Amino acid sequence: MTAEPSISARLSVQRALLTHVTPALRAVSLSVSSDDYRLSLRFIYDLDATEDERELPSVVAAGVCGDWEFPDRVYEEVLLIPTGTAMQHLDWVVYHRCEDTWVNTNAKK
């Protein structure tokens, strides 16, 4: 895979995520196929993500298709994984919320 499609994909996904990140979204990662024509997106949400929030990956994928010249197909995967549970990401992480306990105002002292 050349660097150009992966860079374009990462920038496109980050742009498409603008205004589509909700509190329940834990992470977004992506991978580009070896032939540069298929893009896989993985969205990881908390268990309490609403149905509307779980529809946002389709909006993001549509935005990527609209401005990235390479993809033949964009695949979306939505996982519900509770906070505190380890996540497995695809090749590039383009969004990851801070889950450090020292910044969580609800953390017990």
Q: Is residue 38 part of a domain?
A: yes
Q: Is residue 83 part of a domain?
A: yes
Total of domains in the chain: 1
- The CATH code of the domain that includes 69 is 3.30.70.1350
Q: In the chain, what percentage of residues exceed pLDDT 70?
A: 86
Domain boundaries, position 9: 3-98
Question: According to DSSP H, which parts of the chain are helical?
Answer: 3-17, 51-67
- 3 state DSSP class of 100: coil
pLDDT one-digit tens code per residue, 61-73: 988 888 766 557 8
Q: Is residue 104 part of a domain?
A: no
Q: Is residue 105 part of a domain?
A: no
Give CA separation, 2 vs 46, 63, 68, in Å: 34, 22, 15
Q: Is residue 108 part of a domain?
A: no
pLDDT one-digit tens code per residue, 3-18: 577 888 899 999 999 9
Q: Is residue 109 part of a domain?
A: no
Q: Is residue 106 part of a domain?
A: no
Q: Is residue 46 part of a domain?
A: yes
